[in-house]
Amino acid sequence: MQIIDAHAHVWSDDLLRWPLAAGFQRSAMRPARYAIEDLQNEMAANNVDRAVLVQVSYYGYDNAYLFGSVDRFPGQFAAITLIDQHSPHVTDLMLAHKTRGARGFRIYPRERPAKTWLDTEPLREMFAAAADHNLVLCCLIDPEALDALGQICARFSDTIVVVDHMGRIGMHRPVAQDDIDRLCALAAYPHVYVKVSAFYALGDKRTPYKDLIPMIRQLHSVFGADRLMWASDVPNQIRNGHCYSDSLSLARDGLDFLTRQERAALLGLTAQRLFFD
């Protein structure tokens, strides 16, 4: 069974070659280094075959380290990059990144209110361009932003959208059924997917994360395994006192309601289809 980690971050401690974005200091990097080789070592130790690299905030819009990592190891990694989502030239930026090998882009509310975070012309343009050019939009959002996402998915129904980390339900407050219902409502849009990930940050925030199983079961019941994908969010769990294998163990061994075929989808086939095929 192929295993793909659908969400991992990497960065170098060589700040001369890969400088940090304005506003970031070396002290903010925790750990000080999590290079592509460190991720490969983690993957090898856990029999993970491939990973989707998501641009880390330390580099801002400079995706050079991410692109370089993908180029160095063809076929092993895919790229989700970061562009200025408020630029008047977002389509040009998206196509330039696609030429470099990007499979999609991370978007998030930033300074805008959760209810109106998508009410800008550049973001609407991103949704249209993503559909036109078979690119994925990965959304880093809290539950309050899910309703607005549903509204734009209804308008741009052909756009492939991925909700990162189960909408961060249970990150800032206890897991609530109202929030789960908000996320499950997005299953009405056939091109919306969910990353089953970041267990270390959700709910009780304790291994083996069994408290998250009821939420994952509900997501499975409405999205199906073909629209769910496991991800680690490495190395964030490491710096929070958790480990990579704990995250993988829940998806690989702990969800007894999955059939063998569904587990294969969660662990790799869904991510393969979106980010590598």
C-alpha dihedral over 9, 10, 15, 16, to 10 degrees?
A: -130
Q: CA 196 to CA 23: how far, in whole Å? A: 31
pLDDT in tens, 168-220: 999 999 999 999 999 999 999 999 999 999 999 999 999 999 999 999 999 99
Q: Containing domain of residue 199, as a range?
A: 4-276
- Nearest to residue 52, comparing CAs of 232, 181, 213? 232
Order of strands across the sheet with 192-197? Answer: 4-8, 50-54, 77-81, 102-107, 136-139, 160-163, 192-197, 228-231
DSSP type of residue 48: -
pLDDT of residue 238: 83
Query: What's the confidence (pLDDT) of residue 239?
Result: 76
Mean pLDDT of the chain: 96
- b or e along 202-217 (b: 16 or more beta carbons within 10 Å of the residue's beta carbon)? bbebebebebbbebbe
pLDDT digits 0-9 by tens, 106-155: 999 988 899 999 999 999 999 999 999 999 999 999 999 999 999 999 99
Q: 192 in helix, strand or coil?
A: strand
Structure tokens that stand for 218 in this block: 């509900």
Please name the residue ranges forming H helices in 120-211: 121-132, 146-155, 177-185
Q: Rounded to whole angstroms, how far apart are CA atoms 141 and 134?
A: 22
pLDDT in the model for residue 240: 77
Residue 215: left (phi > 0), alpha (psi -120 to 50), or beta? alpha
**What CATH number is given to the structural domain containing 245?**
3.20.20.140
pTM (2 d.p.): 0.96
Kindly report the backbone phi and psi dihedral angles of residue 237, in degrees, each rounded to the nearest multiple of 5, phi listed first.
-70, -30
In whole angstroms, what is the distance from residue 118 CA to residue 124 CA? 7
Residue type, 212: L
> Total structural domains in the chain?
1
CB neighbours (10 Å) of residue 128? 16
